[in-house]
Amino acid sequence: MTVKYDPKEIESKWQRYWEEHKTFRVNEDSVRHKYYCLEMFPYPSGRIHMGHVRNYAIGDVIARYKTMRGYNVLHPMGWDAFGLPAENAAIEKGVHPVSWTYNNIAYMKDQLRKMGLSYDWDREIATCDPVYYRWNQWFFLKMHERGLAYRRRSNVNWCVSCETVLANEQVIDGRCWRCSSIVEQKYLDQWFFKITDYAEELLSGCDRLTGWPERVLTMQRNWIGKSIGVEVDFPITDSEKSIRIFTTRPDTLHGATFMSLAPEHPIIEELISGAKKEPEVRSFIERIKHQDRIVRTAADVEKEGIFTGRYAINPVSREKIPIWVANFVLMEYGTGAIMAVPAHDQRDFEFAKKYNLQSRVVIQNHEGTLSEETMSGAYLEEGILVNSGEFNGLDSATAMEKIAEYIESQGIGKRTVNYKIRDWGISRQRYWGTPIPVIYCEKCGVVPVAEKDLPVVLPGDVTFTGKGGSPLLQAGDFISTICPSCGRTARRETDTMDTFVDSSLYFLRYCSPGVDNTPFVKQSASYWMNVDQYIGGIEHAVLHLLYARFFTKVTRDLGLIDVAEPFENLLTQGMVIKDGAKMSKSKGNVVDPDILIGTYGADTARLFSLFASPPEKDLDWSDRGVEGAFRFLSRVYRKVAEMSPYLDPKQNPDASDMASYKIILLDIESELPSDLKRLRKTVHQTIKKVTDDIEVFHFNTAISFIMELVNNIYLIPIEGRTGEKAFLYVMKEALDSLTLLLSPFAPHISEEMWHMLGYEPTIAKAAWPIYCTEISQEEESLIVIQINGKVRSKITVPAGTPEDEIKNKAMSDEKIKGLIGEKAPKKVFVVKEKLVNIVI
């Protein structure tokens, strides 16, 4: 009778076992090497999607594999639980964010349990829990003490209709994503973290993150944006003030023929006030301010500007040059003002051409062919200086140094290092976030909340309308408080923190579950940190990953940890694609994991998501692929069920010696029939291949090798051999190894088969199989013979044949002899046990 694979029964059985026995609970163990495996925790939106399934399956394979290799593995999970969707639910559905969030957490946690993930749930966190966000507030106070948290006025996106601040992502074509009203720029008092103090260390640290994808490191380097150059002051005519610019090309200073200011630059008000062009300039600025700032700087967006009617003096050429306002200049970069050099900057070139502004070549190419009249684009390379006064004839590199010296000697500027990165604005005019622990007193000013009074807890009795700014503005009992300095009536800060703060230290909180008198225990953090393997999407390459690195360095400087980087290695998995597009509700191509797992089981879902594509590549969804994964697991299960009555001592007293099969096989190896010898070789080769592939996260090829092993097991007929001890010993080795190799990928079925093979209690704690080098070695090697890099013949040689013998045999091959003829080879290259390349 054929035994049917029933994933529902098997998976629910082993999920109960793991939960009841706390199988994945972990503690510090000084005797064992630690391994910290972490996937980016999810926002509890209500349901997991296939992207989650893939992400968490990748992490679970790594965690289970490392456990079987003897590591003490920390593999936690929690919830990035603050955020705008909870407030939207409150507005649209009348459900309080607390209820909405915790209901979603409960549902999603059940979904993750059904995936069979090896999490230590005793370490679970939710960032919306006051027990957790208390430490966000504590870190804010510590950063404030050090001058790393400060308050200043800042430009924000403001929706007049909704009366609230919008994140950049909520502004679509200059309009509010919710009501389509035109978005305005508004100056508000905002809190910032001084990440710029760590810009250089964040940048130089990229060079030491050798376990991160280069693409992510490049994105971080570009975001930090280090530039070495000079700051130069351009005096404004008829004024005592100057406009400061930053340039990395001081060799082009003589070519600055006009200036361009950001529409938000504060000097503009003084420049245009009472001037003839004031109405025009104000109208232009008002229009540009509504445009998305990222769009404004895009290369393919039309360059727009307006002349202010005012002039500045080029401090090196002493020429009077016009001051313009331009859409492509932002206050967020540099000084918010640029010297425009049309002949040597493409944006300036296009702008000058459009508005018929002067251009001057000051860097000549080595052919001497550049002229303003014939140029079709800016010349961006270095060259020889012309039209540059005393600096004529110098090459660019020399001129940059000489002009920098001149600028400093004249007191009109200085050498400086500039960074594109700006301080992190953390203020959000939202309810569902960590309250900023600050009190405002008319007498004392800004007063931090005392540590003993933390956490500042969000009030529960608030009304959500979507208008009037943050609901906290209407929470009178929350706002009204007492100044801890003078005892007078004061008011609380009603802004909450950016939710990226929540995820900037969560990996440290996992190290010390349940502690309430410190953010984490230093001894525990010293044992577990840093994270050995971090897993998440490339979309977090800059913000989350950069902020987590920043917070880790601040935490180190507070003396709380010893590490400078949070994540030793980073794996960014690809997206899940269906019908040629990323899965999304709007495209109608979503696959519900609940339905998939309900139909085929979690092991099938995991196996398919890991087999269909390398983890760093996008996964193309295939219903046939899912069915194929299910059929494969069914086939494996049938073979173990077929053989277990002969191999499990609990079912068969005659199998009592199976526990010693490894020792027995050593004694009878030479007596085994050829088919069993071949199977043993395949088993040991598969162990080696799967081990090597998991180590480098080639999960798809590892699974492929496991599938090949199953095919080879099925090639050995069972009929008439169940009484043959050698057959049973070899099959026992093969099925044990197969089950162990499969267990990180498909843990439920592997637990069941491990039990069927006579083992207890759990395969999760079993040792990873070890291959024998002698058995796994091929007896013969296939050697490809090339002539001038093209394959011309093939030969086989005994494994381990010396290179000279391989070379001689290749040269003696009849086909090769006929092709070479009398020609003497110039060189013969031998790649051990792979190929011979004859160069003629």
Q: Can you tell me the distance from the alpha carbon of 417 to that of 427, in angstroms, rounded to the nearest whole number?
A: 28
The pLDDT tens digits of the residues spanning 765-813 come to 999 999 999 888 877 788 999 999 899 999 988 877 888 889 989 999 9
Average pLDDT, the chain: 93
Strand partners, 155: 187
Q: Inter-axis angle of helices 725-742 and 747-756, to 10 degrees?
A: 160
- Does the pLDDT value for residue 169 go beyond 90? no
pLDDT digits (tens, 9 = 90+) for 692-746: 999 999 999 999 999 999 999 999 999 989 889 999 999 999 999 999 999 999 9
The pLDDT, as a whole number, for residue 588 is: 73
Q: Is 449 left (phi over 0), alpha (psi -120 to 50) or beta?
A: beta
Q: Partners of 187 in the beta sheet?
A: 155
Q: Do 66 and 37 form a contact (C-beta atoms < 8 A)?
A: yes
Specify whether the CB–CB gap between 816 and 785 falls below 8 A: yes
55 by DSSP, 3-state: which? helix
User: What is the rounded CA–CA span in Å between residue 157 and residue 140?
Assistant: 24
Give residue 404's pLDDT band: very low, low, confident or very high (50, 70, 90).
Answer: very high
Residue range 344-389, pLDDT digits in tens = 999 999 999 999 999 999 999 999 999 999 999 999 999 999 999 9
- Checking DSSP bridges between strand 438-441 and strand 427-428, what pairing results, if any? unpaired
Distances (CA, A) of 145 to 149, 428, 449, 548: 8, 21, 12, 20
Rg value, the chain, Cα: 34
How big is the CA angle at 678 (ends 675 and 681), to the nearest 5 degrees? Answer: 155
**Helix (H/G/I), strand (E/B), else coil: 182:** strand
Checking if the pLDDT of 233 tops 90, the result is yes
Burial of 246 (0-12, 13-18, 19+ CB in 10 A): buried
Amino acid 495 reads: D
How crowded is residue 52: how many other Cβ atoms within 10 Å of its Cβ?
A: 18
For the chain, counts of helices (H) and of strands (E)? 27, 32
Per residue in 99-122, pLDDT (tens digit) is 999 999 999 999 999 999 999 999
In the three-class reduction of DSSP (H, G, I as helix; E, B as strand; rest coil), residue 639 is classed as: helix
Per-residue model confidence (pLDDT) at position 161: 78
Cα 828 from chain centre: 46
Decide if 553 contacts 198 (C-beta within 8 A): yes
Distance between CA atoms of residues 341 and 321, nearest Å: 11
Six token digits for residue 207: 């060079």
% pLDDT > 70, the chain = 98
* H or E element in which residue 751 lies: helix 747-756
Q: What is the pLDDT of residue 547?
A: 96
Strand order in the sheet with 533-537: 72-74, 34-39, 533-537, 570-573
For the segment 150-169, the average pLDDT, to the nearest whole number, is 78
Longest dimension (CA), the chain: 107
Closest listed residue to residue 50, CA positions, set 794, 606, 752: 606
Cα atoms found within 13 Å of the Cα of residue 60, Cβ hemisphere only: 30
Q: What domains lie within the chain, and their CATH numbers?
A: 31-131+502-596 (3.40.50.620), 139-207+424-499 (2.170.220), 226-419 (3.90.740.10), 633-776 (1.10.730.10), 780-839 (3.10.20.590)
Each residue's pLDDT tens digit, 425-480? 899 989 999 999 999 999 999 999 999 999 999 999 999 987 777 899 999 999 99
DSSP state of 570: E
Residue 282 contacts residue 272 (beta carbons within 8 Å): yes
